[in-house]
Structure 1
Amino acid sequence: MIAFAAGVAGLPAAGHADAKRGAYLAAIMDCGGCHTPGIMLGKPDFERALSGGNVGFQIPGLGVFFPPNLTPDDETGLGKWSKADIVKAVTKGERPDGRMLAPAMPWHSYSQLTAKDADALASYLKSLKPISNKVPAISGPNEKPGGLYLVVTQP
């Protein structure tokens, strides 16, 4: 498997043009910069690229959020999500259960993706090898976080 500097897993097999475009998009969107274990600690685990970050983001007043597993693992990742669910999350910030994504996720910027590019990104994520990696749960503002985190402050 080829690993890019941004922590994005290798390209899909030949003949999957949409997924190859999605791999390119995941790299330039820096998905691996948050969703790869160890990346925020300077020790990226590219063997588990995109399987969820182990450093969270504290949003004052909201809690601590950990970047989820983007691989198609059924239990800890996006395995039960459809491509349409992924596109909606990336472009509208909404999960299949109706919950909005954490404010640290730059979906507002990603909302500018064309429909074709958003679908290509979803195709790529669905083409990845499933990796079981459960990230720490979201913790509320008065709860103890389940791992290390960065504090996000507004300018």
Structure 2
Amino acid sequence: MKPLICSALAAGSLLLFIPAALAQSQTQRGEYLATIMDCTGCHTPGTFLGKPDLQRPLAGSEVGFQIPGLGIFYPPNLTPDRETGLGKWSEADIIKAVRTGVRPDGRQLVPIMPYHSYGKLTDADAKALAGYLKSLKPVRNQVPGPVGANEKPSSPYLTVVMPQ
């Protein structure tokens, strides 16, 4: 009978480790998704200048995108910094923004953010991505705010120029 007790105790101990293993694999899944979705391609300082700052991944960009008729928009800081990033956003807020393009304050993200495509994420993948972003080291990095269509920007931006 003693071997059964030991086996039961061992099995119970193993169950204690399963949630930690699942949390780790969910964070790894989120990191994988952020990588294949190329979040760093827009949201990392220096990327558009040819020198990505790998010490501040996903901390936002100092180079924006001009959307004709709308203005210039700068990719925000996705780290959980409470002042300059997503630190005050809940996991549900992040999931909603990624899937629908709607921020917690009700503003719509510009369509350069491919939320139409990301709206197809499964619930598990959306949760993994949001969990990964919440797990990052907070990086204080204030990106320039949006600039209206008729305003003069003070930071660099990318634009589309039609052939003449």
TM-score by length of 2: 0.83
**Within 1, Cα distance between the matches of 2:28 and 2:152?**
40
Counterpart of 1:28 in structure 2 is 36
Change (3 A) 1:107 1:143: same
Alignment partners' CA distance in 2, 1:48 and 1:102: 23
> Partners of 2:124 and 2:136 in 1: how far apart?
19
Q: Does the alignment pair 1:84 with 2:92?
A: yes
Alignment of 1:4-153 (within 5 A): 16-152=24-160
Displacement of 1:146 in angstroms is 2.9
Answer 1 or 2: which has greater helix percent: 2
Larger radius of gyration: 2
- The two structures have a TM-score, normalised by structure 1, of 0.88
Q: Secondary structure in 2 aligned to 1:73?
A: coil
Identity %: 66
Q: Are the structure 2 counterparts of residues 152 and 113 from structure 1 closer, same or farther at C-alpha, using a change threshold of 3 Å?
A: farther
Over 4 Å off, 4+ runs: none
- 1:9 maps to none
Secondary structure class of the residue paired with 1:48: coil
CA RMSD of aligned residues (A): 1.8
Q: Which residue of 1 aligns with 2:10?
A: none
Residue correspondences, number: 143
C-alpha distance in 1, partners of 2:161/2:91?
33
Q: Which shows bigger deviation, 33-42 or 144-153?
A: 144-153
CA distance in 1, matches of 2:87, 2:72: 24
SS at match of 2:95: helix
Corresponding residue SS for 1:116: helix
Deviation at 1:152, TM superposition (A): 4.1
